[in-house]
């Protein structure tokens, strides 16, 4: 990896920190994708004192932890604005109320203190920002690494990104797939499940949640009914429990259960979910196929390509006014449907031989005002699709 590699987030952070608008900066995203690195790189370029602290402790701290570090940062303020960085902020009980109180005090006193908050739980950060911090922050999303970033940082080709997924910390291990799998499974997945899901949410059946994630990782880009899940999971309870646990996995940026598109409604709630993992490292690290084996099996590789397309959409459209779903009617199916205000686009993915596009034709007939996009064989090349922001393609 190029040690000097800098994600675009760093420049965006500096731009917002130097902007005259008085807003704290909040960075949200998965674990181990470079949120802390980006904040520290921005801090290295900050012209003033910097104070950093992380709340990722064995015992979650209380609001006094925020107060202590905030007071220390206030003492740093001098002729130049000081910068306070608080990492894993969602671990602090009552964090949003404490941040609001200190932030408002600084604004009233005219203190030149800039603040960056980082977090890896979308659900807990959303609760805090909605409840207490309205109008006080600018939100930055730090997604999983794109193909372009992995190509530039690690010199990967598309096939390697499609299999290994692009966790930067795991990139140096891909020549030893056993070590790579252990790192992703133990150092990433287990850390997210234990620290960001189970420790911070009420989960009555932790084993079931882990098994559900394992099931999703076994069926990337595939539709699985809740009844089938109940048949494959021990002590599965009911469909409501599974839907709730799947939502928790979604807020941790692991896997999303896409809902079926329904005309007249953005989504068909309660429909059989389509599993899309946010990073292709997840299904491959938990599976047994090697890179060479997966690449030689067209059906397996096709699922990885289709999952990567879905992950690319989720990573780049999260939090925006887009909804990503799938469509199925009788024997016709479209891999992804993206909906925004006045815009409907059906996306089909082909990674092997060209075939009949009966699903897209059926969708277009049912929704004449929709647009269609073929990605892969016979359509937009995969490298071009993954190198572009989906918003450009959906306009």
The residues spanned by each domain of the chain are 8-141, 147-394
What pLDDT was estimated at residue 361?
95
Percentage of the chain exceeding pLDDT 90: 77
What pLDDT was estimated at residue 385?
97
What is the full DSSP assignment across 174-221?
TTSHHHHHHIIIIIIIHHIIIIIIITTS--S-HHHHHHHHHHHHHSTT
Range with the poorest average pLDDT among 147-156, 249-258, 348-357, 380-389: 348-357
C-alpha span between 191 and 391 (Å, rounded): 32
C-alpha span between 40 and 60 (Å, rounded): 23
pLDDT digits (tens, 9 = 90+) for 28-65: 999 899 999 999 999 999 999 999 999 988 888 999 99
Q: Round the average pLDDT of the chain to a whole number and report it.
A: 92
In CATH, what number does 8-141 get?
Answer: 3.40.50.300
What pLDDT was estimated at residue 199?
81
Residue 395 has pLDDT above 80, yes or no: no
Confidence of residue 1 (pLDDT cuts 50, 70, 90): very low
C-alpha span between 210 and 187 (Å, rounded): 15
pTM of the model: 0.92
Residue 16 has pLDDT above 50, yes or no: yes
What pLDDT was estimated at residue 148?
96
Q: What is the mean predicted confidence (pLDDT) over 191-219?
A: 91
C-alpha span between 257 and 276 (Å, rounded): 6
Residue 95 has pLDDT above 50, yes or no: yes
Range with the poorest average pLDDT among 120-129, 338-347, 373-382: 120-129
Confidence of residue 116 (pLDDT cuts 50, 70, 90): very high
The residues pairing with 18 across neighbouring beta strands, listed in sequence order, are none
What pLDDT was estimated at residue 394?
82
């Amino acid at each position: 990896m190029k040690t000097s590699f800098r994600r675009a987030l760093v420049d965006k952070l500096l731009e917002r920190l130097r902007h005259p608008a008085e807003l704290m900066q909040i960075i949200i995203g998965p674990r181990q994708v470079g949120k802390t690195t980006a904040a520290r790189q921005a801090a290295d370029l900050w012209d003033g004192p910097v104070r950093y602290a992380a709340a990722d402790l064995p015992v979650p701290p209380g609001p006094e932890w925020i107060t202590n570090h905030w007071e220390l940062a206030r003492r740093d303020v001098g002729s130049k604005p000081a910068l306070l960085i608080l990492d894993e902020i969602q671990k602090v009980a009552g964090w949003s109320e404490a941040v609001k109180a200190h932030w408002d005090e600084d604004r009233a006193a005219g203190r030149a203190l800039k603040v960056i908050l980082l977090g890896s739980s979308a659900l807990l950060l959303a609760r805090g920002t909605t409840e207490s911090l309205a109008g006080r922050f600018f939100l930055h999303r730090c997604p999983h690494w794109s193909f372009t970033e992995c190509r530039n940082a690690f010199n990967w080709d598309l096939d390697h990104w499609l299999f290994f997924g692009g966790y930067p910390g795991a990139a140096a291990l891909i020549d030893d797939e056993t070590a790579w799998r252990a790192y992703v499974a133990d150092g990433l997945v287990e850390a997210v499940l234990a620290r960001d899901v189970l420790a911070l949410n009420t989960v009555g059946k932790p084993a079931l949640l882990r098994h559900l994630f394992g099931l999703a990782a076994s069926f990337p880009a595939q539709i699985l009914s809740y009844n089938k899940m109940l048949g494959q999971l021990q002590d599965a309870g009911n469909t409501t429990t599974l839907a709730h646990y799947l939502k928790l996995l979604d807020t941790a940026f692991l896997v999303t259960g896409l809902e079926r598109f329904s005309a007249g409604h953005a989504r068909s709630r309660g429909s059989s979910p389509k599993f899309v993992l946010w990073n292709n490292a997840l299904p491959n690290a938990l599976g047994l196929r090697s890179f060479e084996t997966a690449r030689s099996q067209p059906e397996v590789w096709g699922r990885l390509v289709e999952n990567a397309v879905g992950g690319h959409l989720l990573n780049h459209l999260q939090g925006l006014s887009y909804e990503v779903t799938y469509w199925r009617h009788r024997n016709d199916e479209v891999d992804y449907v993206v909906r925004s205000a006045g815009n409907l686009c059906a996306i089909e993915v082909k990674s092997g031989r060209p075939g009949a596009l009966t699903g897209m034709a059926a969708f277009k007939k049912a929704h004449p005002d929709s647009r269609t996009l073929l990605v892969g064989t016979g359509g937009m090349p995969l490298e071009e699709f993954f190198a572009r922001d989906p918003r450009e393609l959906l306009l």
